[in-house]
Amino acid sequence: MFDNLTNRLSGVIKTLRGEARLTETNIQEALREVRMALLEADVALPVIKEFIARVKEKAVGQEVIGSLTPGQALVGVVHQELIALMGGQKADINLATVPPAVILMAGLQGAGKTTSSGKLAKWLMEQKKKKVLLVSCDIYRPAAIQQLELLARQTGAEFFPVQAGQQPKEIAAAALNFARRHFHDVMIVDTAGRLAIDEAMMAEISELEALLKPIETLFVVDAMQGQDAVNTAKAFSEALPLTGVVLTKLDGDARGGAALSVLHVTGKPIKFAGVAEKLTGLEPFHPDRMASRILGMGDVLGLIEEAQRGVDQQEAEKLAKKMKSGKSFDLNDFKMQFEQMRNMGGMGALMDKLPAQLSQAAQNVKVDDKVIGRTEGIINSMTPQERLKPEILKASRKRRIAAGAGVTVQEVNRLLAQFEQAQKMMKMMNKGGMTKMLRSMKG
Ligand code: GDP
């Protein structure tokens, strides 16, 4: 998949060798290559345009750090933007509702709806320990109902039997009733697909959606369909309140354009990817892993990460020095720590690297990666003096700061409590030897 992107970018790295920094002129050729590769991968044109513009904006004028060549730095920017294009963060399936959580599967015939329903049932049972009911509303293809029944048997999910002559809406209503009475956590509803978008099909699934009020309406799409997938996605997202996408057949010789276009077109993230025909072949979709796979340049990406870590290392050592010199740890340092956490791959990654006793202390700080940005906002809204001595903050100032950062006063208080925890943690680190800890983090 995306072999061309890898090849073309490898060329880019070579042509940019010897340049001191990325400029509008020297990345022109490189961006042309990226554009060609995306076109060949069947990425939708508006998506390509926006993508190239964003890469250009980020790359031009960027200082090339330490050991990287400008070409490698550009690959780094492309990688980051690929992740962003696919939504950045992993989008989890939402089951938070009064049971049964209904998942409605929509898509064209052959997209992989029935197979994905079975796979999803298995995944929910095994990974989330849910009791799952499988329901087929595809009365037009008896074979589809049988296929789902077989999948239910293979996965151990319960299957809702359909009576002859029942209409989709009747099946759905009866199944919902059944799931409630039998305490199913999740009910997955497979629907009829057609070979192309047709109004009757859209009307039927809209009715099912209105009746079932699903917490998830997943659009199932075949990655091998390329541009067609994008057009179908657009039509479905206009007719139905989709909540996410299941991208199937990523194991095939898909050119992969659909993976990059679908969020842009539907506004909805890919939640699962079909990666094999077998029942275990469904995985939560990770934009970062997918971006790395698309680039296929593990070695270069590794280098970029290393270089980035090197920069963080220098900052961290500065901080360590400051602490050793006896200066106290203030909110400026706290903020810098947050920035470093982000660069090191978030709190989760950092925790793994901390020695056990510190990890325990860090647990108490409870920092969510998403909170990092808000935290910075709060600290930015403080005066330099307040950052040095947060204990001088009065209630009125806290309110002003909260307003300035667009958060609640409670969040400001929470941050200050976290800061106190961190201060304690820093004292511990000082005793244990900061430099030693940093060295262990690098390794
Ligand atoms: P539906 O008409 O949307 O219900 O499509 P099906 O679930 O019947 O799938 C159509 C075909 O695609 C079947 O042969 C499936 O085995 C196959 N299929 C579905 N998902 C995947 C996948 O992720 N990988 C592969 N290799 N095949 C898949």
Q: What is the CATH number of the domain that holds 135?
A: 3.40.50.300
Q: Is the ipTM, as predicted for this complex, more than 0.90?
A: yes
Q: Classify residue 95: in a domain, yes or no.
A: no
pLDDT band at residue 240, thresholds of 50, 70 and 90? very high
In this model, does residue 375 exceed pLDDT 90? no
Domain enclosing residue 37, as ranges? 3-85
For residue 112, being part of any structural domain is answered with yes
What percent of the chain has pLDDT above 70? Answer: 77
Give the C-alpha separation, 266 to 237, whole Å. 6
What is the pLDDT of the chain when averaged over all its residues?
82
Residue 297 within a domain: no
- Span 266-296, pLDDT tens digits: 999 999 999 999 999 999 999 988 888 777 7
- Are residues 270 and 163 both part of a single domain? yes
DSSP single-letter state for residue 213: -
Distance (Å) from CA 192 to ligand 1 centroid: 14
Choose the final residue of a domain: 85, 115, 135.
85
Residue 314 burial class via C-beta count within 10 angstroms: exposed 0-12, middle 13-18, buried 19 and up: exposed
Within this chain, do residues 166 and 63 fall inside the same structural domain, yes or no?
Answer: no
Same-domain status, 284 and 321 = no
Residue 65 has pLDDT above 70, yes or no: no
pLDDT at residue 371, rounded to an integer: 67
Q: Please report whether residue 355 resides in a domain.
A: yes
* Low-confidence winner among 23-32, 48-57, 199-208, 421-430 (lowest mean pLDDT): 421-430
Per the structure, the count of domains in the chain is 3
| 374 burial type by CB count under 10 A (0-12 exposed, 13-18 middle, 19+ buried) | middle
Same domain, 268 and 324: no
Task: Answer whether 110 contacts ligand 1 (Cβ < 6 A).
Answer: yes
The answer to whether residues 50 and 149 belong to one domain is no
User: Is the minimum distance from the CB of 115 to ligand 1 under 6 angstroms?
Assistant: yes
Hey, which of 141, 145, 248 would you mutate to test ligand 1's pocket, going by the most ligand atoms within 8 Å of its Cβ?
A: 248
Positive or negative torsion for Cα 119, 122, 127, 129? positive
Ligand 1 and 252: CB distance under 6 A: yes
My answer on whether 57 and 140 are in the same domain is: no
Same domain, 252 and 318: no
Say which residue, 411 or 194, is predicted with more confidence: 411
Rounded mean pLDDT, 174-202: 92
Tell me whether residue 400 is in a domain. yes
Placement of tokens 């330490």 in the chain: 66
Of the candidates 318, 308, 305, 333, the residue with the CA atom closest to the CA atom of residue 435? 318
251 lines ligand 1 (CB under 6 A): yes
Single residue among 53, 85, 117 that ends a domain in this structure: 85
104-127, pLDDT tens digit by residue? 999 998 999 999 999 999 999 999
| Burial class for 258, CB neighbours closer than 10 Å (0-12, 13-18, 19+) | buried
Co-location of 53 and 113 in the same domain: no
Q: Which residue has the higher pLDDT, 417 or 218?
A: 218
For residue 353, pLDDT over 60 is answered with no
Q: What is the pTM of this model?
A: 0.70
What pLDDT does residue 438 have? 54
Specify the DSSP element, H or E, that contains 276: none
For a ligand 1 pocket test, name from 1, 277, 278 the mutation site with the most ligand atoms within 8 angstroms of its C-beta: 277
Residue 216 has pLDDT above 70, yes or no: yes
What integer pLDDT is reported at residue 326 of this predicted model?
47
Angle at which helices 168-181 and 199-212 cross, to 10°: 20
Residues 136 and 284 in one domain: yes
Q: Please report the pLDDT score of residue 100 as a whole number.
A: 96
Atom index in ligand 1 nearest the CA of residue 111 equals: 3
105: left (phi over 0), alpha (psi -120 to 50) or beta: beta
**Average pLDDT, stretch 87-108?**
94
